[in-house]
Structure 1
Amino acid sequence: MDADESRQLLSGMLRAVANHDRSAFAALYRLTSAKLFGICLRMLPQRSDAEDVLQEVYVTVWHKATLYDGQRASPITWLAMIARNKSIDRLRVSGVERHNEPIELLERMHEPEPASDPVEIDAERRRLDQCLAALEDRQRCVIRTAFFDGCTYEELASRSGVPLGTMKSWIRRGLLRLKECLEK
């Protein structure tokens, strides 16, 4: 299945879920849960928390599938952002201390491969990797840390030893370059 077919399949499932189609919801879960669980596991220190958050993600999808806009994001991106945001919410509520190593140490850490599932598209992954590689090292590192660890701008600035405004500028410029590259 190519990228367009996957996107159309998931978009159709989300439209059906918006109409409370339980079989479409079950199929959506089968196709996307491994990837979303991988995101939750990466961000949360306890597996049980990741499992709870994954359940919250799908409850949110069931109730808010009508909000999905295919013009703004691919279905898997929209689902991944829900998983990321729910994981960040769990971290904030629990007051769990996340990785507090300096950013430079995180740059050297091996990033595990994401959970594979039928929706994962190799061509898109290579393109994203190429665009990330085109960023400056510090921009790439803080964007990955913000996304995968759910760090706030304040946490990133503190860990990097730079002013908050500088951190915001690094991330904003990096995201703009990333978006520009991905749109080519």
Structure 2
Amino acid sequence: MTAEDLAPLLAAVARGDRGALRAVYERQSVRLFGVANAILRDRDAAADALQDAFLKVSQRAAQFDASRGAAEAWLAAIVRHAALDIARARGREIPTDDPALGDQAVEPEALERVAASAEGRRLRDCLAALEAKHRDGILLAFVHGLSHAQVAAKLELPLGTAKAWIRRGLLRLRECLA
């Protein structure tokens, strides 16, 4: 399907054509599910986001304007917003597998405030100064919310190595921030 094929389908959806909505779903749902899953990292939540997004598409198809951008981008933006709404609603858990650190929920607004602050800039600078292996482990664990086992699988490392890299990275990060 070409990009030009989606615009007429969205116009038909705006006129209430359920077959056109089904066609858009059949052609774009796999890609859009990937967008939602990349944000939420939870297949069930991604499916919910996709459902919410297509409900919005059915209600707002008349707002699509091909002169302002591609239909694929418009659809992706709707899915992205639906996924972010779900992420905000459920809060953000940061699993650590380290009982000394404990698991804690962090609200997205708190993360945005930290990122915009001077501390956020210091944190970014300190992360940039870390070795790539330590930085990648920390980001996967604490930004993307992966467990140590998931980090190990993603980086194709033994679990103990992944845990050691994350731990050493955290110690170096603590020294840099002190």
Letter in 2 for 1:161: G
- Residue by residue over 1:36-64, the C-alpha shift from the partner in whole angstroms, topping out at 9 and shown as x without a partner, is 00001111132111111110010000000
- Residue by residue over 1:78-109, the C-alpha shift from the partner in whole angstroms, topping out at 9 and shown as x without a partner, is 00000111111111111123699xxxxxxxxx
Structure 1 unaligned regions, length at least 5: 101-151, 164-184
Match of 2:121 among 159, 162, 168: 162
Residue 29 of structure 1 and its aligned partner are, at CA, apart by 0.5
- Residue by residue over 1:9-29, the C-alpha shift from the partner in whole angstroms, topping out at 9 and shown as x without a partner, is 000000000001111111110
Cα distance change of structure 1 residues 98 and 21 upon mapping to structure 2, 3 Å threshold: farther
- Percent of matched pairs sharing the same residue: 34
Matched, 1:13 2:24: no
Provide the residue aligned with 1:77 in structure 2: 73
Provide the residue aligned with 2:51 in structure 1: 55
Counterpart CA distance in 2 for 1:7 and 1:91 is: 29
TM-score computed with the length of structure 1 as normaliser: 0.53
Letter in 1 for 2:26: R
Cα distance change of structure 1 residues 97 and 26 upon mapping to structure 2, 3 Å threshold: same
Provide the residue aligned with 2:108 in structure 1: none
Larger radius of gyration: 2
Structure 2 unaligned regions, length at least 5: 97-110, 123-178
> The residue matched to 1:49 in structure 2 has which SS?
helix
Match of 1:34 among 14, 25, 30: 30
Letter in 1 for 2:31: K
Counterpart CA distance in 2 for 1:161 and 1:79 is: 32
TM-score computed with the length of structure 2 as normaliser: 0.55
Letter in 1 for 2:74: W
Match of 2:88 among 92, 103, 106: 92
Residue 157 of structure 1 and its aligned partner are, at CA, apart by 4.0
Count of aligned pairs between the two proteins: 110
Letter in 1 for 2:120: G
- State the Cα RMSD in Å: 2.9
Counterpart CA distance in 1 for 2:62 and 2:95 is: 35
Cα distance change of structure 1 residues 76 and 68 upon mapping to structure 2, 3 Å threshold: same
Which of 1 and 2 has higher RCO (CA within 8 Å, sep 6+)?
Answer: 1
